[in-house]
Amino acid sequence: AQVLVESGGGSVQSGGSLRLSCAASGYTYSSYSMGWFRQAPGKEREGVAAADIISRTNYADSVKGRFTISRDNAKNTLYLQMNSLNPEDTAMYYCAASGRRWPTLSPHEYSYWGQGTQVTVSS
């Protein structure tokens, strides 16, 4: 079975940093585009960052210049470095895998999902 496990979430003050990790198993990780998504209470899930199989990346405008996505195909692990966090970044963060050959930010194009890790940023 395909399993994605996120870690690294927590509570930080505005301006702080966090690094999320996503460990993948049960499928050929290197053949899938990977993405990070977030969902705040009462809001729709939104794409934050994505990386395709050759590590081309795509970012939501709201996180450009602050977040960096990376993937280690040897470790089957996806990362999201988040800097300059602000309260609007507070959400549950999910990693996901897509069979698309481009770094899509559309949740509908992702097949496998993790359970999420909470990020809370206080002002």
Mind listing the pLDDT tens digit for each residue in 59-72?
Answer: 999 999 999 999 99
Structure tokens at 57: 């990346």
Q: Which residues of the chain are under the pLDDT cut of 50?
A: none
Give the per-residue pLDDT at 89: 98
Give the per-residue pLDDT at 123: 94
Q: Rounded distance, CA 73 to CA 52, Å?
A: 11
User: Which amino acid is present at 98?
Assistant: S
113: left (phi over 0), alpha (psi -120 to 50) or beta: beta
Give the per-residue pLDDT at 78: 98
